[in-house]
Structure 1
Amino acid sequence: MGEITVYSKPSCVQCTATYRALDSAKIPYRVVDLTQVPAALEYVTDELGYGQAPVVVVDDQNHWSGFRPDMISELAKRV
């Protein structure tokens, strides 16, 4: 599994919940602020088709939007 990226925005409750769940599961990740990186916002909206944060990208085929503890649990099994 490559590096997990969490595309987020400030003051986002679902983003914070996602960070906490990833930290709790000891899953490493990097955060990209969608309000600071225009190319990231374009990638998330135009290429992936998401309209809400956070967007978690594991790889080209495995990504989701919103707080998804079920998906984080599945990731934890692979770490």
Structure 2
Amino acid sequence: MDNIVVYSKNNCMQCKMTKRYLSEHNVNFQEINVSNEPEYIDYLKGLGYQSVPVVMQNDNNPIVGFRPDALKGLVD
């Protein structure tokens, strides 16, 4: 699976756990850190999200928070 984007921020334990889970399962993803790129905060808020991590993949439903049960669906 491709085109996975993880929106995260600094000092976010759920973000770290989500990225670790994906990395340990060899899932390639692009990280957008809203602490370093604050313009994405308004983008996420505009979509109705109030917290990170938000994992988006193509047209699938986004995964919000550390959800190993949902992340399992991204593992080949």
TM-score range, shorter chain: 0.7 to 0.9
Equivalent residue for 2:13? 13
Runs of 4+, deviation exceeding 6 Å: none
1:20-47 per-position Cα deviation (integer Å, ceiling 9, x unaligned): 1001111100110112223311121112
Equivalent residue for 1:36? 36
1:39-75 per-position Cα deviation (integer Å, ceiling 9, x unaligned): 311121112x111111111124421210010111111
Q: Aligned pair 1:69/2:75, yes or no?
A: no
Q: Which amino acid in structure 1 is aligned with residue 9 of structure 2?
A: K
Bigger strand fraction: 1
| Structural RMSD (CA) | 1.3
Count of paired positions: 76
TM-score with structure 1 length normalisation?
Answer: 0.85
**Consecutive unaligned residues in structure 2, runs of 5 or more:** none
Provide the rounded CA distance (Å) in 2 between the counterparts of 1:74 and 1:64.
10
Deviation at residue 2 of structure 1 after TM alignment: 3.3
Provide the rounded CA distance (Å) in 2 between the counterparts of 1:28 and 1:53.
19
